[in-house]
Amino acid sequence: MELGLTLPNRGVLFGATTVDEMLELAEAGEHSGVFGSIWVGDSIMAKPRLESLTLLAAIAARTRRAKLGAACLASFPSRHPVLLAYQWASLDVISQGRTILVPCMGGGTRGDFAREFQVMGLDPAKRAALLEENIRLIRRLWAEDEVTWEGEFWRFEGARVEPKPVQKPLPIWIANNVQIVTRSEGLMERALRRVARLADGWMTTHVWAHEFTERWQRILRYAKDEGRDPGALRSSVYFNVNLNADREGALEESKRFLDTYYMTNNTRETLERWVALGPAEEVVRRLREFAEAGVDTLTIRFPSWDQRGQLHAFLREVAPAL
């Protein structure tokens, strides 16, 4: 299992980190040899932060080997696909072919999430259809010299994106976990089938290892139904770690951090599900569960006001035991 390092780019708004610190963490993560990828978050209005593509370009200039991506690109359906294809292709060139595009649908159809779509002139209820059309369109813009498109949302002739991405093809994963907002099995099946039909990989979050396994096996079956090679798909879980000899202290800091980050009131059950809490041996146990479940990439974020301290403790106490 490969590890990724997720940087808290929303944290610059409430004092959890700085731009300089995030760039230093990216360098340190890559230099350690432990992390094979560096990730940032994304949102425009619902959860403001440093803009993800801009920050990734800065990280690309400070690193040489690590893959780069947004986990996940929540604004994907609300960004114009031609402009996004152009921006992301340029990012792939700047990074010399190190990017992974991971679109998702954002956080829902109400409140600030809905407002992000509405100010762009889009219907938040159409997020799934927008995501699917944008993926298909962006793939064509990257592969073809000129694209004429007649879809549900976009209609144009002669669109061009240059330069093309270095990677041919550039990997596109889809991130989802409808369980966060609904218990609908019908929506879950549609979300998993969307991955199997359109994506090169799947990223999920807020899951126990056994939940990941069940859903990942479904995606692989659905991919086979679509005539695709299940072995070519990649899996990823977005996770959190807070190292502290005092487990309750780790939980308390994680709650304060995540409540502030997401403007929510996280329950203990949510925190236990989403964060490996406590001393190194407990963190190692949780991470090994995901490795044994077959996760290809586990991305780690530290819900803490001491980003450097957590990273160094992880490298010293956890990574050697994995």
Question: Could you tell me the residue ranges of all domains in the chain?
Answer: 2-321
Over the stretch 120-133, which tens digit does the pLDDT of each residue have? 899 999 999 999 99
Percent over 70 (pLDDT), the chain: 99
The tokens describing 229, both together, are: 């090679």
Q: Is the pLDDT reported for residue 181 higher than 70?
A: no
Distance CA 221, CA 233 (A): 11
Chain mean pLDDT for the chain: 97
Over the stretch 68-83, which tens digit does the pLDDT of each residue have? 999 999 999 999 999 9
CB atoms within 10 A of CB 60: 21
- Structure-model confidence comparison of residues 179 and 119, the more confident one: 119
Confidence tier at 112 by pLDDT (50, 70, 90): confident
Distance CA 37, CA 258 (A): 22
C-alpha atoms less than 13 angstroms from C-alpha of 13 in its C-beta half-sphere:
13
Residue 220 and residue 233 in contact, taking contact as beta carbons nearer than 8 Å: yes
Distance CA 74, CA 43 (A): 6
Residue 231 and residue 216 in contact, taking contact as beta carbons nearer than 8 Å: no
Residues facing residue 289 across a β-bridge: none
Instruction: Please state the rounded mean pLDDT for residues 145-159.
Output: 98
Confidence tier at 14 by pLDDT (50, 70, 90): very high
Residue 63 and residue 23 in contact, taking contact as beta carbons nearer than 8 Å: no
Instruction: Please state the rounded mean pLDDT for residues 13-27.
Output: 98
CATH T-level fold of 2-321: TIM Barrel (3.20.20)
Residues facing residue 39 across a β-bridge: 6, 69
Over the stretch 239-279, which tens digit does the pLDDT of each residue have? 999 999 999 999 999 999 999 999 999 999 999 999 999 99
What's the pTM value of the predicted model, to 2 decimals? 0.97
- Structure-model confidence comparison of residues 115 and 134, the more confident one: 134
